[in-house]
Chains A and B, each alone.
Chain A
């Protein structure tokens, strides 16, 4: 069965410093992996997706993630945090063994201090 673990429920950074949100997954086949962002009282917006092409994936708003099969990880990074990045972030996995359904991690709340 597929599963996703987001290793930190809360991350706090200062504006202008790097962001690292950690995600580990479990999947039987080559998975598709996604990061979504949810701003307060809003729906989810797709940040980026990995679907077996390049292992370093660039997304919107300066975010990127690297697929590391040997470590079963898909960590999200950004070189310099902005106040507008404060939100909840979800790592999501999908694979054929689970009917291609999405499985969500529990979420990481990112706080950005001025």
Chain B
């Protein structure tokens, strides 16, 4: 039982390049989330998926897209990376949306130069 896994662990991009961050969970959770973590700001929600087939914007969705590929997998895409997207990205999952604990992956450290 791996919990929540993320790939890659580290990535360096040049401005304007694109990439997809992958996330998978094996806890049969309905809800999945993408956050970014910046110093002194805690975690901010980018997008979430309350259930398979649905996605919704969070607090900071601009510059990102997501796909809920199936119940297990939720990917985050940067179409044209910008230096402001340099951050640590965390994927999380929970049994249902909100009010209960979320379980986090180990994170992806992304640098955009």
**Same complex origin of A and B:** yes
Chain B contact residue count (CB 8 A cutoff): 22
- A32 and B98 CA atoms in complex are apart in Å by 9
Q: Which residue from A9, A34, A49, A100 sits with its C-beta under 8 Å from B97? A: A100
Residues of A within 8 A of B43 (CB): 44, 90, 102, 104
Interface of B, helix, strand, loop or mixed by DSSP: loop
Given the complex, which residues of A lie within 8 Å of B90, measured CB to CB?
Answer: 43-44
B99 touches A94 (CB 8 A): yes
A99–B45 Cα distance when bound, in Å, is 13
Give the tally of cross-chain contacts (CB within 8 A): 57
Given contact pairs A42-B106, A101-B58, A102-B45, A49 touches B101 in the complex (Cβ within 8 A): yes
Tell me whether B98 and A100 are in contact (CB under 8 A): yes
Contact partner, A99, options B97, B102, B103, Cβ 8 Å: B97
How many interface residues does chain A have, given as a range?
20 to 34
Chain B residues, Cβ within 8 Å of A45: 104
Measured CB to CB, the nearest residue on chain A to B41 is: A106
Within 8 Å CB of A104, what residues of B? 42-44
**Which of A42, A44, A90 neighbours the largest number of chain B CB atoms within 10 Å of its CB?**
A44
